[in-house]
Amino acid sequence: MTTHWKKLTSSDYFGSHDLFVDDNKYSEAIVTLVKIEKKKVKGADGKESECIVATTNETKPIILNKINCKTITRLFQTPAIEKWAGRKVKIGVDKVKAFGDMTDALRVRNEVISDAPKPTYEAEMKAISEAKDLSELSALWNALDAGGKAVCLSIKDSRKNELNK
């Protein structure tokens, strides 16, 4: 593992260097948005400007540019920053042209992050394999969502063949 030179400087904000792994390699981070607000931020040149800043549970505050705010708006289907609180986003690093140079920039990934565990459909698989007749099998099948149908398809087909004998 190697160290990005920016890690040797003091920064109050999370940056691409915080995800640095090795030459041109960066990790990604999943963060929980706690609060979004406008803050005065001092740039490298010492000048202050107002920025949109996200406080998270997992990292230093993150400065959100318009591109990242638009991505979050699409992900959560709302521009209301109050409704972003408590939600998770994945942060990565992309090379972008900025200020006449190619630079590494934090980008919110266009991926919905859910805390909900993925269903296993174990109970549904058991019920389908034990269906007493085609009517019960059909009712169990029709009650499944698309994910459940993908998981239970072979069990349903097998049970249907057994019931048709």
Summarize pLDDT for 103-146 with one digit per residue, the tens: 888 999 998 887 656 677 888 999 999 999 999 999 999 998 87
> Which DSSP state fits 10?
-
Q: How does DSSP classify residue 58?
A: S
Q: What is the pTM of this model?
A: 0.65
3-class SS at 79?
A: coil
Burial-class residue 72 by CB neighbours within 10 Å (0-12, 13-18, 19+): buried
Strand partners, 54: 36, 62
